[in-house]
Amino acid sequence: MAHIPIREGLAGITGLLEYRLDSAKPIRELTQTLMRGDSPLSFAERELIATYVSFLNECTFCTKAHEATAQVLFEDDTIIDSVKWNFNKAPISDKLKSLLIIAQKIQQSGKSVTVNDIELSKNFGATDIEIHDTVLISSLFCLYNRYVDGLASWTPEDDGFYKKLAERLVSQGYTGTTEPIVHSE
């Protein structure tokens, strides 16, 4: 049970964003801009970074939600697993692999990122904006994972819930005005 009273049937972040609407608004806007706004990184690549950081932070809710979203966007069910377990062998570009190294470091701490990590990315063609967005997406998911787990929000077991959430994130993004998904198990 969550540490604060959350509306029944609202899982993970959806219940928390409903609990305090005035802080939810800028969180949603930041996420929408970062994950669906103009960027050289594709939506799929950005969701992959979010999934990977959430996986490293052991946040089940966020990992499942963004994994499901990334799978829809990549049109590939296997790519995320290969990234989670050994991204060096995953069927993704060298540039994206080098950005995932940065994401991995950010998950540990800001200071873990080295000049060498940045240079490697630039050598593989990453632009300043791609590096910036990788760092900020990774940092944002360090916020989300702590928020979701720190308040012990409900993590459903039903994979169907995450598929539904993913469909919404793909079709509406992060600032949709529809009612949150009410789930029961």
Residues that bind other proteins (CB under 8 A): 3-5, 16, 19-20, 22-23, 25-27, 29-30, 33-34, 37-38, 57-59, 102, 105-106, 109-111, 113, 115, 118, 128-129, 131-133, 135-136, 138-140, 142-152
Residue 63's contacts (CB-CB under 8 Å, 6 or more residues apart) are 51, 54, 55
- Comparing CB distances to other proteins, the nearer of 69 and 145 is 145
Find the shortest distance in angstroms from Cβ 11 to other proteins.
15
What one-character-per-residue DSSP string does 131-164 give? HHHHHHHHHHHHHHHHHHHHTT------HHHHHH
- Comparing CB distances to other proteins, the nearer of 86 and 115 is 115
Find the shortest distance in angstroms from Cβ 17 to other proteins.
11
Residue 173's contacts (CB-CB under 8 Å, 6 or more residues apart) are 32, 35, 36
- Comparing CB distances to other proteins, the nearer of 24 and 164 is 24
- Comparing CB distances to other proteins, the nearer of 79 and 103 is 103
Secondary structure of residue 52 in the 3-state scheme: helix
Find the shortest distance in angstroms from Cβ 18 to other proteins.
12
- Comparing CB distances to other proteins, the nearer of 100 and 135 is 135
Q: How far is CA 136 from CA 69, 88, 110, in A?
A: 19, 22, 11
Find the shortest distance in angstroms from Cβ 89 to other proteins.
25
Find the shortest distance in angstroms from Cβ 169 to other proteins.
17
Q: What is the CA radius of gyration of the chain?
A: 16
CA angle 39, 119, 49 (to 5 degrees): 40
Find the shortest distance in angstroms from Cβ 71 to other proteins.
24
Show the tokens assigned to 5.
């009273």
- Comparing CB distances to other proteins, the nearer of 33 and 82 is 33
Q: How far is CA 159 from CA 35, 64, 183, in A?
A: 23, 8, 12
